């Protein structure tokens, strides 16, 4: 009985997570029931904003990676100059 309850709890948690991340049909139906004009705007803009967020995260990652490499190289050259 406890194992089954655990499975149901995990399923529920997964469903909540899925609806938060991907705005599944269940949550879209809820929004549609509230306001039909809002759902059209939401579904048309959501993938665009998703792509923009991903691109910005990638750019930030690349920026920090390049910065880290530059700092590493400058530290290495400084060490070589100090020892040399």
Collapsed DSSP state (helix, strand, coil) of residue 24: coil
CB 18 within 8 A of CB 24: yes
d(CA 67, CA 36): 47
The predicted-structure confidence for 43-70, as pLDDT tens digits, reads as follows 555 566 667 777 778 888 888 888 888 8
The predicted-structure confidence for 3-49, as pLDDT tens digits, reads as follows 787 777 888 777 776 666 665 555 566 666 665 555 455 555 556 66
């Amino acid at each position: 009985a406890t194992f089954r309850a655990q499975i149901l709890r995990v399923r529920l948690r997964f469903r909540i997570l899925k609806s938060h991340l991907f705005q599944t049909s269940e949550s879209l139906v809820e929004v549609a029931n509230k306001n039909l004009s809002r759902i059209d705007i939401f579904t048309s803009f959501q993938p665009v904003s998703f792509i923009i967020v991903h691109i910005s995260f990638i750019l930030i990652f690349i920026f920090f990676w390049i910065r880290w490499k530059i700092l590493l190289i400058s530290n290495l050259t400084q060490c070589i100059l100090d020892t040399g």
